[in-house]
Structure 1
Amino acid sequence: MFRAIACTVTIAAGPALAQTPCGGPFGGFVEALSAEAVERGQKPDTVDAFFDGIRQDQSVLDADRRQGIFQAPFIDFSRRLISSDRLERGRSLGRDYATTFEAIEAEYGVPRGILLAFWAFETDYGSFQGDYNTANALVTLAHDCRRPELFRPQVFAALELFAQDAFDPDTTTGAWAGEIGMVQMLPEDILTNGIDADGDGRVSLKTSPRDALFSGAAMLADLGWRAGEPWLEEVEMPTEFDWYETGLETRKPASDWAALGVTARDGEIDAPDLPASILLPQGKDGPAFLAYPNFPVLFEWNQSFTYVLTAAYFATRLEGAQIYDAGNPEPGLNGAQMVRLQEALQARGYDVGGADGILGSGTRAAVRDVQRELGLPADAWPTSELLERL
């Protein structure tokens, strides 16, 4: 059995501890963050050494604003990410690290397909792990007022790793959003779930596949992954159906969906007794999936619906599933049209998380409501007809 290396975590703040506000001059923000770190219990010398070389990184902010790939619909996105080479390499690595994956599944219940999918998508099986300075990236994003609540805790987590001699603010690099290693974990997740699986005394997520895979599995288990249960299954839908019942918001036992005419594409529903949702990433005429309770856990790794669905589907392919039936979905909206749609939905009072041109869960839920209101098939797939009606 492998366990996380013991850590003395000092990142939690007491209720009366003031938080450094985002924005303002960057230098002043770093000074205030340093003072807060000392208040949290870190030694002044450690804090000074950590923040001494911190610089604002404009390229990180540029990358944060530039995420157009997530505007692609599921079919296009999945075909872009899943190549025959990536599939074969994943299967080959599954064989090469069979002993590791067997130990992981026995310990945490996380199957190899899931870990291989994130290993593939996050860093192309470790070949490109990002070259952004991690400390600079985290402090830059904590200072930026778009999502400071996400990144401030990661700064203090990185500082704690530095205090434990497990992070170098000058040389540690990773993704623009501060993730580190082969499966891209944030500092808080490393503190909580970092595993020294190869027994060398360090959690080496950048150089040790065994450490990275065990740590990723420990994180998923900590987030609620349920051992021995499926996560996604392709299904075929009946012609007549209440499409408003689809989406992550509605769960029914898979056997109830079967009673309504939903059938597994491979012949039998995987887990008829488990609650499941029906996902139609491109509407009623495109691919269809049953999403089981393990599926939402994956959103803790990435918030993009299209990314998570693609990773979950790729994991099933790595474990033997067939290529999905793409169907013949209606053309969707381009980025500019999606922004107009989101603005129209916001004008109607829907919270879609901003007009960013990305068809996320909030926009899908709003689209489904408006489709039903307008007498259209409520399958959460926005089309030009819907945009014109609005």
Structure 2
Amino acid sequence: MLTTPARILRSRRLTRGLLVSGFLSLLSLPTIAQDSAASAPAGFAECKARLQEQAIAAGVSSETASEVMARAEHLERVIELDRRQPEFTTTFADYLNRRVNDARISQGRELLKEHQELLARVTRETGVPAPYLLAFWGLETNFGSYFGKMPVPSSLTTLACDPRRSTFFTQQLIAALRIIDEGAIPADQMEGSWAGAMGHVQFMPTVFLQHAVDADGDGRRDLWNSLPDAMMSAGKFLQSMNWNGDYRWGREVLLPDNFDYSLADGRRLPLEQWREMGVTDAFGNPLAREPIDAALVVPAGHQGPAFLAYDNFRVIMGWNRSEFYAIAVGHLADRIAGAGMLQNPPPEDAPAMSRDNIISLQEALLERGYDVGKPDGIMGPATRSAIRQFQAANGLIADGYPGETVLTRLDVLVIQ
């Protein structure tokens, strides 16, 4: 059984001690700072000075801005991670099975009991049911077991001084400085992902400023060491995106024979209309007569599971824009609440395509007159639309999924 992470139990006295010891350590190790400065790219010092001025102009105290920016270092590893593109895309089966597994389900159910009072309070105040809060927590940090170890001020300074997404990360850096300025966490304890996501639920700094709350009443919004703050903040964020407590995220469904898969293109139709088409729940029962719209999602094509996604599915995607992520949150929440496995699990033998494979696929579609835009190695909406058109023109099920038959017909070789 997972207990509340040890870092939640740190006392303020310990925090002050860590601050002092951390500061003395910095003073006693000048060579590290010198080495970092020597390895920083040209213009980094000037960039830090500009960022410091921008932060002060945005309302960060001069003391916080100067102290934190003086210690901010250029982290080449952050640039490497920002530039890195995965060689292979992840299949839906691999993505889902890695994230919604027996261990995480069991742990989530234990935590549902352990934190019943806290989670019930969050649900009362935000309308977000406890299993969803646990699902986000589980997917983001494996229930608080790993927050990331990158120093957020240095990571964000590095990215703000890189031209690729400077504007976005400048905003995040200034927000992080404001968080430090308000006393939420000392600068040397602000750790997170390489991109600056932080705490139990991995909020970016701007999201923290807008939606983090002090739920335990200690005067600080602490998403690292306070589970009440983290869970309530997650609930408030979802509430701000119009979470509808009257409905679930969506559901697995069964589609009738000869179903028109071109309808799985993101369009939202009334649930009654899906019902009239012969769509049922995963056990073959008629869909409920509810006044709600839904979109059909088939993440693994016609051979895999199908889902009707309700309004809360879009809310989940406001947290993370991946359809795979949104389905994983919803399914994990269902499992934590006691539901069983998918009735039609995704096929595990689907090809994991590399970016080069996808570019070859896009080029093959272009050569045959199907518009995918510029080949970029990303399986986006335009590519899926082109696949549907190719499938329909060639007598195949038009599900927009690049299965083995599509790849063979387009002469795209995928080596596993």
Query: TM-score scaled by structure 1?
Result: 0.85
The question of 1:273 aligning with 2:291 is answered: yes
The question of 1:256 aligning with 2:276 is answered: no
Cα deviation per residue 1:337-384 (whole Å; 9 max; x = unaligned)?
A: 22433455688653589425xx45554345334434555322121124
The question of 1:81 aligning with 2:94 is answered: no
Q: Is the 8 A contact 2:391 2:398 kept in 1?
A: yes
Work out the CA distance in 2 between the residues paired with 1:251 and 1:221. Answer: 22
Question: What SS does structure 2 have at the residue aligned with 1:235?
Answer: strand
| 1:274/1:93 CA distance change after superposition, 3 Å | same
Percent of counterpart pairs with the same letter? Answer: 33
| 1:355/1:50 CA distance change after superposition, 3 Å | same
| 1:200/1:297 CA distance change after superposition, 3 Å | same
Alignment partner for residue 399 of structure 2, among 369, 379, 386?
Answer: 379
| 1:149/1:309 CA distance change after superposition, 3 Å | farther
Q: Is the 8 A contact 1:118 1:311 kept in 2?
A: yes
Q: What code does the residue aligned with 2:281 have?
A: A
| 1:268/1:135 CA distance change after superposition, 3 Å | farther
* Alpha-carbon offset, residue 271 of structure 1: 6.3
Alignment partner for residue 209 of structure 1, among 217, 227, 240?
Answer: 227
Q: What code does the residue aligned with 1:381 have?
A: Y
Alignment partner for residue 112 of structure 2, among 87, 94, 98?
Answer: 94
Partner residue, 2:388 = 368
Partner residue, 1:355 = 377
| 1:265/1:388 CA distance change after superposition, 3 Å | closer
The question of 1:144 aligning with 2:162 is answered: yes
Partner residue, 2:3 = none
Query: TM-score scaled by structure 2?
Result: 0.80
Farther-moved stretch of structure 1 (155-164 vs 136-145): 136-145
Work out the CA distance in 2 between the residues paired with 1:365 and 1:169. Answer: 47
Q: Is the 8 A contact 1:333 1:383 kept in 2?
A: no
Question: What SS does structure 1 have at the residue aligned with 2:251?
Answer: strand
Cα deviation per residue 1:95-121 (whole Å; 9 max; x = unaligned)?
A: 111111211111111111211111111
| 1:202/1:365 CA distance change after superposition, 3 Å | farther
Q: What code does the residue aligned with 1:326 have?
A: P
* Alpha-carbon offset, residue 26 of structure 1: 2.5
Question: What SS does structure 1 have at the residue aligned with 2:320?
Answer: coil
| 1:129/1:333 CA distance change after superposition, 3 Å | closer
Q: What code does the residue aligned with 2:353 have?
A: N
* Alpha-carbon offset, residue 39 of structure 1: 3.0
The question of 1:177 aligning with 2:198 is answered: no
Q: Is the 8 A contact 1:26 1:56 kept in 2?
A: yes
Work out the CA distance in 2 between the residues paired with 1:346 and 1:54. Answer: 47
Q: What code does the residue aligned with 1:263 have?
A: T
Q: Which runs of 4+ in 1 moved over 4 A?
A: 327-330, 342-349, 360-363
The question of 1:334 aligning with 2:356 is answered: no
Cα deviation per residue 1:14-63 (whole Å; 9 max; x = unaligned)?
A: xxxxxxxxx97332322222222233343433321221111121222233
Q: Is the 8 A contact 1:109 1:227 kept in 2?
A: yes
Alignment partner for residue 127 of structure 1, among 136, 140, 145?
Answer: 145
Q: What pairs with 1:26-175 in structure 2 (closer than 5 Å)?
A: 26-66=44-84, 68=86, 71-175=89-193
| 1:40/1:205 CA distance change after superposition, 3 Å | closer
Work out the CA distance in 2 between the residues paired with 1:271 and 1:121. Answer: 32
Partner residue, 1:14 = none
Which structure has the larger Rg?
A: 2
Partner residue, 1:319 = 337
Question: Considering only aligned residues, what root-mean-square deviation do their CA atoms show, in Å?
Answer: 2.6
Q: What pairs with 1:284-323 in structure 2 (closer than 5 Å)?
A: 284-323=302-341
| 1:168/1:341 CA distance change after superposition, 3 Å | farther
| 1:387/1:316 CA distance change after superposition, 3 Å | same
| 1:182/1:328 CA distance change after superposition, 3 Å | closer
Work out the CA distance in 2 between the residues paired with 1:280 and 1:305. Answer: 10
Work out the CA distance in 1 between the residues paired with 2:167 and 2:408. Answer: 37
Partner residue, 1:10 = none
Structure with greater proportional helix content: 2
* Alpha-carbon offset, residue 165 of structure 1: 1.9
* Alpha-carbon offset, residue 245 of structure 1: 0.5
Farther-moved stretch of structure 1 (211-220 vs 194-203): 194-203
Partner residue, 2:209 = 191
| 1:330/1:80 CA distance change after superposition, 3 Å | closer
